[in-house]
Amino acid sequence: MEKNVRVGILMGSDSDWEKINGVAKALDEFNVGYEIHVMSAHRTPDKVLEYASTAKSRGLGVIIAAAGGAAHLAGVVASHTTLPVIGVPVKTDMMGGLDSLLSTVQMPGDVPVATVGTGSGGARNAGILAVQILATGDPTLAEALVAFKEKLVAKIAAKDAAFQEKLSQPS
């Protein structure tokens, strides 16, 4: 059976995919359905307007928008929907994507975009944040997040134990 699509992932270009596919992997881990589209605030503004303004009525709960450079996609999407919008600034050659980060995060008051960091950690966090937003109204997802946090604790404890072991070895 096909999963319900609850998250829309938008990218300014197909060239962004390689850098942001961690978004989809994180959603897969929680079995959350999504759709992915390439559309651009600058190259296909009408398409972005249509997507953002109909997303809620189509049943989406969160939109994740990734773009690089003059990264206005998330902001434009946020201006046309009441859904929560997560912005993923795509890493560029300019100081690791500082251009994308500032273009995404510096929204005017009243139009929030929850902006994550650049790089693979940011993309992953966008997916997890989307799950956390959906989990506010979904007890199954909320439980999965508790288990996820427990696994994180165990993972870091194991790393610490391994590191302590390494320190105790004679150099």
Q: Is 15 in the site for ligand RP5 (CB under 6 A)?
A: yes
CB-nearest residue to ligand RP5: 12
User: What's the closest the beta carbon of residue 101 comes to ligand RP5, in angstroms?
Assistant: 12
46 or 110: whose CB is closer to ligand RP5? Answer: 46
Show the tokens assigned to 23: 């978004």
Q: In this complex, which beta carbon is closest to ligand RP5, that of residue 73 or of residue 131?
A: 73
- Tokens in use for 157? 């404890």
Site string for ligand RP5, 53-72 (x = CB under 6 A): --------------xxx---
Positions touching ligand RP5 (CB under 6 A) are 12-13, 15-16, 40, 67-69, 90
